[in-house]
Every structure is written in structure tokens, then in C-alpha cells.
Amino acid sequence: MTNAVGWRAWYWLFTAMSGLALVLTIFFVPESAYDRPISAFMGTAPQEFAPTGDSDAPLAADNIHEPITTLDERKLNTVNYAPRTLRSDMRVFVTPHDWSKTFITLKHITQLLVLPHILWLALMNGFFLAIDISISITYGPILVAPPYNWAKTSVSIAQVGQLPVAFIAMPLLGWLSDFIVTKMAKRNGGRHEPEYRLLTLVFPLLLLLMLTAIYGAAAENPYGYHWMAIIFPQNVWLFLLFATNTVGITYLLDSHPKRAGPVLVIMCLMRGLVSFGVSYHTVDYVDAVGYVRLFGIYAGLMAVFGVLGIGVFVWGKKIRHWVMRWTN
């Protein structure tokens, strides 16, 4: 398609899609930053309905609030709160905004970024994505060249395998992580530790090392490998990205729930910066050292992250206690 319409047409298409998404967001995505009492997050009665004075005093029937589920009908208080309209949903700010919190957030980001377990996960996320970008940059020219001789008009079909990978990866990672956390908590007397989630990264890290070696060897010597040695790593990498991103974020949110916002910013920011910096000269790296050495270096670096992960798992609780003064 690029050969048919040119690169410029592609970027005009991306611009149009982004503009459409912006317009749809304005009209269909309402602001969700409302002031809520703590009880609203706990599924219990709001503070204004809580009993006062004698705790044994009976509550009126209308004031007894039971926890609700996603299947329960929502009863809105249209007496004290006006119904939502398109005009109210399009408000930019619902609550009074305090711009000083911007500097507080930047302060928290700076504090968290230098903490060892957060820096480890942020850098590892970036390297995972960097290797994926390097594969995405190089797999096309490999497949269209001999001995595979794929047509330029259909080489992108190689990415179709990411669809089933995506549908399998998300529930697998969710259920597997919950299963491991539950089992470990039972062994720990019913007490959950955030480090239990890191066990879900063991299989993805081992798989990454194997696929990185296979892709590097196949790219260096395509005559000795089937084209699946190129396509399989390229598609399965989506599972690896989901794993390190999902597990990493849930671990950090479990560890520092009061710093959820800065944690999410750090993970997204570092993932983009590190992946760009590492993969920027991929083609030059290949020309200079070859595929085997380049992806061997990638595998070696990820092995180092894996070893560091053992330390985070063993001493993570002590690290969290040590940094508590900056995260609470």
C-alpha cells in the first residue's frame, strides 16, 4: 500500500484519524475527575448517610446502603444533582483545579524515578519495546529478499498473527497473575505481597531470550531457517510487551497506591524514551555488527534485567519500607 499511495498519503491518513479521534473525544468522553468520598471507592454508604453519635442507634430504612455490583441497578439522586447532559459532559473542568499540583506531581515523578525497583521496571519496559521496534524495522526487508521472496504488497500480512496473540495474552496474563498471587498469599498466611506479581514475568523473560536468539540467527542466515523463525518472534512479541507492561504496572500500583499517577507517567515516559534511544540506529547497528551480535547484545541486556529482578523479588519488601518516606 505504501508503494501504491506513497508515504505522505499514509501520514495524512494518520493525521485525519487522530483529528477524528480528538473530535469524538470532545463529544463522547466526559471528564471523570469528580470529588468523591472515600466510601464511594469502598462500596459502602456515603459519609452523609453514616450514623453519628451512638453507634447502636438504628438507621432509617432509606439510609441503609448495601454494597452494589455491576449487575445492580443504579438509582440516581436527581433531587440534589442535576441529570447529565451533553453540555455538562463537555465541560473541561468539573472540579476547581489547582495548578500547583502540577509541580507536586513532577516532584513525585522525580523522587520515584530514582528508586531502584521502579527504575528497573521502567528501563526493562523500554528495552522490551526497543527490541520489538528493531524486529518491526528489519523483518520486512528479510522476508522480501531471497530465499523467502515475499511480495512487498503482502509482507505486512505477517503481523496478522498478533490478533490471536492479543486475545490470548490478556486473559492469560490476568488469570495467571491472579492465580499466582492467590496461591502465594495462601502460603503466606493470607497476606499478599506485591512482589508475588513479579513471578508472572519469569516465563515471558525466558521466552524473550529464546525468541531473540532465534530471530537473530534466522535474520543472519535466512537460508538455514524457515520463515516462521522470523514471523513467530515478531508476533509473539506482543505477548511479551503485554506481560512486562501489565505485570510491571500492577506491581508498582500495589507497592505505591498513593503514587498511582506518577507511576503511570514514569512507565509510559521511560518506555518511549528508552525504546527510541535503543532502536534509533537499528539499521546502522545491523550493518556494523550483524543480526546475531545485535540481538545477542539485546538478549544479554535482558538477562541482566532478569537477574536484577531476582534481587527485586527477594529484597523488594525491604526496598519498599526504605523508600516509604518518599512514597506516602
CATH numbers and ranges of domains, the chain: 104-327 (1.20.1250.20)
Give the three-state DSSP class for 186: helix
Question: Count of CB atoms within 10 A of residue 14's CB?
Answer: 10
User: pTM score, two decimals?
Assistant: 0.79
Report d(CA 263, CA 255) in Å as an integer. 10
Query: What does the pLDDT read at residue 51?
Result: 42
Residue 258 is given by DSSP the state G
Query: What does the pLDDT read at residue 54?
Result: 44
134 and 73 Cβ atoms separated by less than 8 Å: no
Query: What does the pLDDT read at residue 58?
Result: 44
Ramachandran quadrant class, 51 (left: phi over 0; alpha: psi -120 to 50; beta: rest)? beta
Query: In a structure prediction context, what are the per-residue pLDDT tens digits for the chain, which is 328 residues long?
Result: 777 788 899 899 999 999 999 999 888 888 777 777 766 666 554 544 444 444 444 444 444 556 667 777 777 777 877 888 888 888 877 777 788 888 998 999 999 988 999 999 999 999 999 999 999 999 999 999 999 999 988 888 899 999 999 888 888 888 888 888 899 999 999 888 999 999 999 999 999 999 999 999 999 999 999 999 999 999 999 999 999 999 999 999 999 988 988 999 999 999 999 999 999 999 999 999 999 999 999 999 999 999 999 999 999 999 999 988 888 7
Q: Which of 153, 115, 157 is nearest to 262 (CA)?
A: 115
Query: What does the pLDDT read at residue 67?
Result: 66
243 and 173 Cβ atoms separated by less than 8 Å: yes
H helical segments located in 158-281: 162-187, 202-220, 228-255, 260-279
127 and 302 Cβ atoms separated by less than 8 Å: yes
Give how far Cα 325 sits from Cα of 53, 194, 264, Å. 36, 18, 20
Give the three-state DSSP class for 78: coil
